[in-house]
Amino acid sequence: MRLGRLRMKKPEIEDPNNLPDLLWEAINERLWHATSTEGLKGILETGKIKIGNRYKNSLCRHLGCVSLFDFGPSAKNYDRQFLNWWGWFGHQQKSKVVVWLEIDRDATADKVYDAGKMHEIWKKNLNKQFIPGVEAGHKGPIPLCVLKGALLIYHRHDLTRFERFEEVNETLIRQIEDFEKSLPPEPEPFKTRLEASLNRYHKNEEEKKT
């Protein structure tokens, strides 16, 4: 069942890394938990998404919640907030393949503070770390049975490369491996490219002298 017809508008920023339209359509109106390949393995092993301990001062941790991204009816695109959650397409996970797990909104309705409710709570806890507009929280760990599927996304290098899978189980690990094999080689880090360019320059200069 779709909850209302209100749709959050895709963030538009002057940045080459803006979200591709197809990826935005895949995540919009839905509820997500972002993780890495290693994070997924831990989730499958324990049978649940645990409350994170990465950010000691986070609002979600303070409330005993698992942090989620909510692009549903109460979500809003606040100025200068996009880059805070854009990092979860690869920068935060430091993983070649980023895993976004979809949470069944209906099945977790009694345990979820949606984006709007969390924003109201945050106004009374302004010293806590929080992403206004899109961050939601699930009270307590999230069982595997309420996961509706997964998006595998190619890090931050090319967000047009992603695939959706409907089952979240051990098979997903193999599907991640297959997805990785379909990807191009990782781009060289800027420092490596710079050093290579300088080496070519000095080599050319030396050749001119001979």
Per CATH, domain 21-209 is 3.20.170.20: yes
The pLDDT tens digits for 86-120 are: 878 877 777 788 999 999 999 999 999 999 999 99
Residue 103: which residues within 8 A CB-CB, separation 6 or more? 31, 32, 33, 68, 112, 138, 142, 146, 147, 148
Q: Give kind and range of the element (H or E) at residue 110.
A: none
What's the pLDDT tens digit per position in 128-149? 999 999 999 999 999 999 999 9
- CA angle 32/174/45 to nearest 5° reads 60
Amino acid (one-letter) located at 174: R
Look up residue 177 and give its two tokens: 């491996």
Task: State the pLDDT at residue 2.
Answer: 36
DSSP assignment string, 2-56: ---S--PPPP--S-TTPPPHHHHHHHTT-EEEEEEHHHHHHHHHHTEEPPP-S-T
Cβ(48)–Cβ(142) below 8 Å? yes
pLDDT of residue 6: 46
pLDDT at 201: 56
Residue 17 is which amino acid?
Answer: N
What predicted TM-score, i.e. pTM, was given to this entire model?
A: 0.82
Tens of pLDDT along the chain (210 residues) come to: 333 334 666 665 444 447 788 999 999 999 999 999 999 999 999 999 999 888 899 999 999 999 999 999 999 888 778 778 887 887 777 778 899 999 999 999 999 999 999 999 999 999 999 999 999 999 999 999 999 999 999 876 688 899 999 999 999 999 999 999 998 877 665 445 545 655 675 677 667 666
Rounded CA separation 199/202 (Å): 5
Whether residue 83 contacts residue 133, with contact meaning beta carbons closer than 8 Å, is answered with no
Residues 6 or more apart whose Cβ sits within 8 Å of residue 185: none
